[in-house]
Amino acid sequence: MLDYTIKENALLNKVILVTGAGDGIGRQAAISYAEQGASVILLGKTVSKLEAVYDEIINAGYPEPAIIPLDLKGATEQHYIDMATTIEQQYQRLDGLLHNAGILTVLSPFEQIEQDSFDDVMQVNVKAPFLMTKALLPLMKKTSNSSIVFTSSGVGKKGRAYWGSYAISKFATEGMMETLSDELENTSVRVNAINPGATQTNMRARAYPGEDATLLKTPKQIIAPWLFLMADESADVTGQSIDAQPK
């Protein structure tokens, strides 16, 4: 699936929600989904970034996206319930949900992790996808073949010194994906995760300020598994944690 080439317009008529769609990997996923015909719902914190992605999609002649400005740090369960109602009213369906938004905060020794910083990471990386999935599942179950994709990390599979809260949150992400996939085994909803690997984005630059970022793959170069998991060809794939850049 890493060298998967999606058929033209394979996502036509699908509605796909992408969190963190204004930047990095989420931005590329949203544009690539739209390119294949999907109506993309762009969710994120910084409205100007979402608007830039919106313009890019419109200027390319792809289906008109929608924007949901939402700071996952402050969002409550009611925000997600209201969001699910709005999506159902506007589209009557949701075929794909890409949980991509994430934060890293600072890398530090375990003893120095501030409680507030730990809470922020767990809120954005774990609790937000949990509440959003919970609210959207009834709608996704109505679609004949729908896909939830979580975003993992190498440190969500093998812990690494100083990656504290972020690594813990990504282990939780893997656990949420496996639990949900097992629970939804006999439904039309499949659940998987992708670990992007080292990718040229702002988050990576903050974690490794000294490295030559031009040596890293761009989001566009690694986007194949994100497309595969939203296309009908992956209808039978569930419970998988996919490394987009295996060593």
Q: Where are the alpha helices (DSSP H) in 60-197?
A: 77-91, 115-122, 128-142, 164-183
Identified binder of ligand NAP from the candidate list 14, 45, 79, 190, rule CB under 6 A = 45
The residue from 4, 62, 166, 208 that is catalytic is 166
End-to-end Cα spacing for the chain: 15
Sign of CA dihedral 101, 102, 103, 104: negative
Nearer to ligand NAP, 192 or 199 (CB): 199
Nearest residue (CB) to ligand NAP, 10 versus 41: 41
Q: Given candidates 153, 165, 234, 238, which one binds ligand NAP under the rule CB under 6 A?
A: 153
3-state helix, strand and coil shares in percent for the chain, rounded to the nearest 5: 45, 15, 40
Number of continuous H segments (helices) and E segments (strands) in the chain: 8, 7
Determine, following the binding rule CB under 6 A, whether residue 221 of this chain makes contact with ligand NAP.
Answer: no
Say whether residue 72 binds ligand NAP (CB under 6 A). Answer: yes
Token pair of 91, please? 């589209």
Known active-site residue 208: no
- Select from 39, 133, 181, 201 the one that contacts ligand NAP (CB under 6 A): 201
From residue 84 to residue 103, the character string flagging contacts with ligand NAP as x (rule: CB under 6 A) and all else as - is ----------------xxxx
Q: Which residues are catalytic?
A: 166
